[in-house]
Amino acid sequence: MPEFDAAITENIATSLKEIPHPSLPKGTSIYGGTKIFPDYKAEEGESYFTLVHGIAHESSVSFVAVLQATRALRKGFESAIYFYGPGAINCLATRGFPTTGDSGFPGEQNINESLEAFISEGGTVFCCRFGLGLHGGREEDLIEGVIPAHPLDVQDALIHYARKGAIINSTYMV
């Protein structure tokens, strides 16, 4: 620890003693576990459609949307995700640092890995070509299995899934 004068050193010691640490041992429950709603499963022919307009790692909403779509898929829903606008960046296999696929910080590849798992489990991922172009992404940079889509498809995909009676989760980052 750096050298401080006596008053600061005394204040540091007092501050450290004010609240005992750890206040709760690791593993202590601090939240209840009661689930309010039933664990619904898909009924025959039900769909779950997610729209994502959020930038990878600038918006936790993008990652949470992928997790929700994956959960719906595992509950038996036909599940699809449509990335548009800045959300298109989430679909790039070329993200990473210092090389593609590397994590410059823990969790940098969470979205990539989650999308790969979603696709491998039968989920459908669309990515707007215009969103890619706006942010310098190329179709050949997409994660394998991501379907490039025309900009006008965003609205028509929404209409398609709405007419199917899909549950629609629209996420947006300002």
pLDDT digits (tens, 9 = 90+) for 68-81: 999 999 999 999 99
Average pLDDT (116-122) is 98
pTM of the predicted protein model: 0.84
Within a 10 A sphere around the Cβ of 116, how many other Cβ atoms?
17
Domain ranges of the chain: 47-170
Average pLDDT (99-116) is 92
Fold of the domain built from segment(s) 47-170: Hypothetical Protein Ychn; Chain: A, (3.40.1260)
Asked if 141 contacts 95 with a C-beta cutoff of 8 angstroms, the reply is no
Give the confidence band of 156 by pLDDT, cuts at 50, 70, 90: very high
Asked if 32 contacts 151 with a C-beta cutoff of 8 angstroms, the reply is no
User: What interhelical angle do 110-120 and 60-74 show, nearest 10?
Assistant: 20
